[in-house]
Homo-oligomer: A and B are copies of this chain.
Amino acid sequence: MGVKQAHFNLFIHAAGHHSAAWRAPDSPAENLVDLAYYQDLARTAERGLFDAIFFADGHSLSPGIAADGPLWHLEPLTLLSALSQATTHIGLVSTVSATFYTPFHAARMLASLDHISGGRIGWNVVTSMFDAEAQNHGMEKMPDHATRYARAEEFVDVVLRLWDSWPRESIVIEREAPGRYIDGSQLTELHHHGEHFAVAGPLNVPRPPQGHPVLFQAGASEPGRNLAGRRAEAIYAVAYDVESGQEYRMDVRRRIAAAGRNPDSVAIMPGLVTYVGSTMEEARARQRELDVLLPTTSSLRQLSTFVGQDASQWELDAPVPKLPPLEDFTGPKGRYATILRIIETEQPTVRELLGRLAAGGGHCTMLGTPETIADDIERWIDAGAADGFNLMPPALPQDVEAFVDHVIPELQRRGRFRTEYTGSRLREHLGLEVPTQTRPGA
């Protein structure tokens, strides 16, 4: 029996996941609204045989945050469609918020993209979190966490049913009189009237090539993990060490099994920040190169949002003040739990915590040579802490190029990563079956 292979997504975010990446002299800060920048990144990831590229999404540009560095530029669904034309095999995953779209819009655009890309689309369903986003879509503030997840559960159900509502087989194209393009008896009208949505159906895009675009999910909260258990086909996780990765993966796999699904079919992919050098010293120098650009004022402001209290006056070289336990924290739980864990295991000063959080906000960080990083990746996978990683390069494009050119070949030598694409659809890269078609009336 061979060793278990890894999966990799490239999480593309602005000039990189290190919040000071754009300030490097050679950063792509001037090009973040240019398609060519994203085309190059997508092609690099495809050269590395990654499973997919991955985009987060947000629906506001907060001027306060905007002053500190680039956030959003192009809208990810329209961007992925263009990127599908610059690539041939790699998967294309977009975040779509269940709070700001109607299920019909989301189902339609994702289905259309799946046709356009030849079956390479994934959908990372999120519930969004900022009032500033809600206020761009006519709401006063975000619905509470429980309402958002209840809405997301219903949203996903409806989208999956819409994707089944116009089967390809119904397009019969009988040209002879009396003439019939569609066999209407194969269409499904949903007549969905739920707590959050009313959707008649059917969808006006035929069933996508993948049956359903691949459903990604990320969520550390209880309702988030339940949604993952019921529905996710791949999971973007937060785990800062092997132990927290094991804990999360075991818990979610238990929920997947409890929902009657096969846990082995769901790739759990924690975020991964890497600093690659040909020596440890070179890798450390790479990290310092970025850390030194970090502005403390805005880093403390970001830390304030992570811990839900004002950290702007915290003493940089003193230990991190004691924080309330996880159960008393009402914001996003995943990152907060990681911060608590870093404090508990590393007892960092505030400045050291900022450095740890500056790239990827507390996701797993691997720093070293291609060989030591390949060792770390093997260790995570063999320990059951991950099925692969959502790569979050601190600075783009350099840190993904280093990974593709040096770490991927090392993993391939060890039999830990594919040496060619064996399929042309995202489901095939992830080893996922095409979902069975729901029959009308079933």
Residues of A within 8 A of B (CB): 20, 22-25, 27, 29-30, 33-35, 58-61, 63-64, 66-75, 77-79, 81-82, 84-86, 100-102, 104-105, 108-109, 111-113, 115-116, 132, 135-140, 166, 173, 175, 177-184, 187, 189, 197-206, 293, 295, 297
Contact = CB atoms under 8 A, between A and B. Distances in A.
A342 to B, nearest CB: 25
Nearest to A27: B175
A200 B23 contact: no
Contact of A200 (B33, B60, B105): B60
18 contacts: A22-B175, A23-B175, A24-B175, A29-B181, A59-B204, A60-B204, A66-B184, A67-B184, A75-B108, A79-B81, A79-B116, A82-B85, A104-B136, A105-B105, A132-B200, A140-B198, A178-B297, A179-B293
B203 A61 contact: yes
Nearest to A81: B81
A25 B199 CA distance: 37
Given A67-B181, A138-B198, 13 more contacts: A58-B204, A61-B187, A63-B182, A63-B189, A66-B184, A67-B183, A75-B111, A78-B109, A79-B81, A85-B86, A105-B105, A135-B200, A137-B199
Contacts of A78: 77-78, 81, 109, 112-113, 116
Given A63-B184, A68-B179, A75 B137 contact: no
Contact of A66 (B70, B75, B187, B205): B187
A11 to B, nearest CB: 18
Main DSSP-derived SS at the A contact region: loop
A69 B137 CA distance: 36
A64 to B, nearest CB: 7
Contacts of A27: 175
B177 A295 contact: yes
Nearest to A187: B63
Given A179-B295, A181-B22, A112 B79 contact: yes
Contact of A199 (B58, B102, B136, B179): B136
A203 B202 CA distance: 32
B109 A71 contact: no
Contact of A112 (B24, B74, B139): B74
A166 B61 contact: yes
Contacts of A204: 58-61, 71-73
A119 to B, nearest CB: 12
A204 B14 CA distance: 13
Contacts of A297: 178
Contacts of A60: 200, 204
B198 A135 contact: yes
A58 B63 CA distance: 36
A64 B135 contact: no
Nearest to A170: B66
A158 to B, nearest CB: 10
B104 A64 contact: no
A411 to B, nearest CB: 32
6 closest A-B pairs by beta carbon, nearest first, are: A81-B81, A75-B112, A85-B85, A135-B200, A61-B204, A63-B184
Residue from A58, A112, A297 with most neighbouring chain B CB atoms (10 Å) = A112
A205 to B, nearest CB: 6
A83 to B, nearest CB: 9
B173 A30 contact: yes
B178 A74 contact: no
A100 B64 CA distance: 31
Contacts of A33: 115, 205-206
A210 to B, nearest CB: 14
A367 B20 CA distance: 64
B136 A200 contact: yes
Residue from A35, A78, A137, A182 with most neighbouring chain B CB atoms (10 Å) = A78
